[in-house]
């Protein structure tokens, strides 16, 4: 059966741990100069309908680093720009390549594409999920904190695609997660309920950022207006004013708490420059780990 990566919910704790362990091994080998060739002769197509710096370059570099090839297609340059449905384009691509990495808007587009695709479909961000990102974030947390046992993660800001994937990860991997979101900007209620019902540690939504970071080992935030919400930017800036990750908020967490941001960051909006550039922030290590987790994902799905 074709093995897709559409959301973290589709995987068991053991499977998620498997990606993380493989990424750590590949990282160590890469840093020791090992040249991988496991995907030699294989090609992926990357179809991106939204901009990307990190996800695009790290997936491309990961595929080349495993000996494979990449064809990158932006929505703009293809028949997608003239309204060809992604499910049609994806089915055609599947006849040319060994895997599809997709960044688009609706999760239903990726889910539908996977139903039609005979090759693995990997979700590189939708409006609802950003599963590959959360895996590299968790790889970073494990590196910095030694594991996930007894960890308390705080999410500050929008209940967006990142928040939804963190909720699924917390439920599957078993760590406590408190999200502080303004009213009206909560995570997806269905994802939250399912995750809470299956969780072994509490997953809670609160309104007050200080409550969320109390006793936190990890503080995590993201932009206030995601891709596709640009016209809401001004209104959101007002709503989210009290949800900035700044030194005062970080001081309310554990003294050795780390700060995560998937990037791109908007300095002085969701995070201050001081915190982003400060000693507790691991955003650039997180970005680096995207390379290694993407290698692990490509190898697990195409290998």
With residues binned 3-state (H G I as helix, E B as strand, rest as coil), the percentages for the chain, rounded to 5, are 45, 15, 35
Is residue 53 near ligand CP by the rule CB under 6 A?
A: yes
Nearer to ligand CP, 107 or 133 (CB): 133
Nearer to ligand NVA, 42 or 294 (CB): 294
Measured CA to CA, the distance from residue 51 to residue 168 in angstroms comes to 25
Residue 223 binding partner per list ligand NVA, ligand CP, none, with a CB distance cut-off of 5 to 8 Å that depends on partner kind: ligand NVA
As measured in angstroms, the least distance from the Cβ of 61 to ligand CP is 12
As measured in angstroms, the least distance from the Cβ of 3 to ligand NVA is 24
Sites of contact with ligand NVA (CB under 6 A): 125, 130, 160-162, 222-223, 226-227, 262
Nearer to ligand CP, 199 or 221 (CB): 221
The dihedrals phi and psi of 126, each to the nearest 5 degrees, come to -125, 180
Continuous segment of H or E residues that includes residue 143: helix 131-145
Residue 118: strand, helix, or coil: coil
Burial of 149 (0-12, 13-18, 19+ CB in 10 A): exposed
Helices (H) then strands (E): counts for the chain: 12, 9
As measured in angstroms, the least distance from the Cβ of 133 to ligand CP is 5
Residue 165 binding partner per list ligand NVA, ligand CP, none, with a CB distance cut-off of 5 to 8 Å that depends on partner kind: none
For ligand CP, the binding residue among 11, 16, 47, 52 (CB under 6 A) is 52
Residue 53 binding partner per list ligand CP, ligand NVA, none, with a CB distance cut-off of 5 to 8 Å that depends on partner kind: ligand CP
3-state per-residue secondary structure call for 220-239? EECCCCCCCCHHHHHHHHHH
Nearer to ligand NVA, 226 or 272 (CB): 226
Q: Which residues contact 217 (CB under 8 A, 6 or more apart)?
A: 145, 151, 152, 153, 253, 254, 256, 257, 258
Residue 222 binding partner per list ligand CP, ligand NVA, none, with a CB distance cut-off of 5 to 8 Å that depends on partner kind: ligand NVA
Is residue 54 near ligand CP by the rule CB under 6 A?
A: yes
As measured in angstroms, the least distance from the Cβ of 263 to ligand CP is 5
Ranges assigned E (strand) in 118-234: 121-123, 152-156, 176-180, 203-206, 218-221
| Residues in contact with ligand CP by the rule CB under 6 A | 52-56, 125, 133, 262-264
């Amino acid at each position: 059966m074709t093995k897709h990566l559409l959301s973290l919910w589709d995987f068991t704790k053991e499977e998620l741990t498997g990606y993380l362990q493989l990424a750590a091994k590949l990282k160590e080998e890469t840093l020791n100069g090992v040249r991988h060739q496991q995907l030699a002769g294989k090609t992926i197509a990357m179809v991106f309908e939204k901009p990307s710096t990190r996800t695009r370059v790290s997936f491309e570099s990961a595929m080349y680093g495993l000996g494979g090839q990449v064809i990158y297609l932006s929505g703009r340059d293809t028949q997608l720009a003239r309204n060809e449905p992604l499910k049609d384009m994806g089915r055609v691509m599947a006849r040319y390549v060994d895997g599809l990495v997709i960044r688009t808007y609706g999760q239903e587009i990726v889910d539908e594409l996977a139903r039609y695709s005979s090759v693995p479909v990997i979700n590189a961000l939708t409006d609802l999920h950003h599963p590959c990102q959360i895996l590299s974030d968790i790889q970073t947390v494990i590196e910095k904190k030694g594991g996930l046992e007894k960890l308390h993660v705080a999410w500050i800001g929008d209940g967006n695609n990142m928040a939804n994937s963190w909720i699924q990860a917390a439920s599957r991997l078993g760590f406590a997660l408190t999200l502080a979101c303004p009213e009206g900007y909560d995570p997806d209620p269905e994802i939250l309920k399912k995750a809470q019902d299956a969780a072994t540690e509490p997953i809670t939504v609160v309104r007050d950022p200080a409550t969320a970071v109390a006793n936190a080992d990890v503080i995590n935030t993201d932009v206030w207006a995601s891709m596709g919400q640009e016209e809401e930017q001004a209104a959101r800036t007002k709503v989210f004013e009290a949800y900035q990750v700044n030194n005062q908020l970080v001081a309310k967490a554990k003294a050795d708490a780390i700060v995560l941001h998937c990037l791109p960051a908007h300095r002085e909006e969701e995070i201050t420059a001081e915190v982003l550039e400060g000693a507790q922030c691991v955003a650039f290590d997180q970005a680096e780990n995207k390379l290694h987790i993407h290698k692990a994902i490509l190898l697990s799905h195409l290998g």
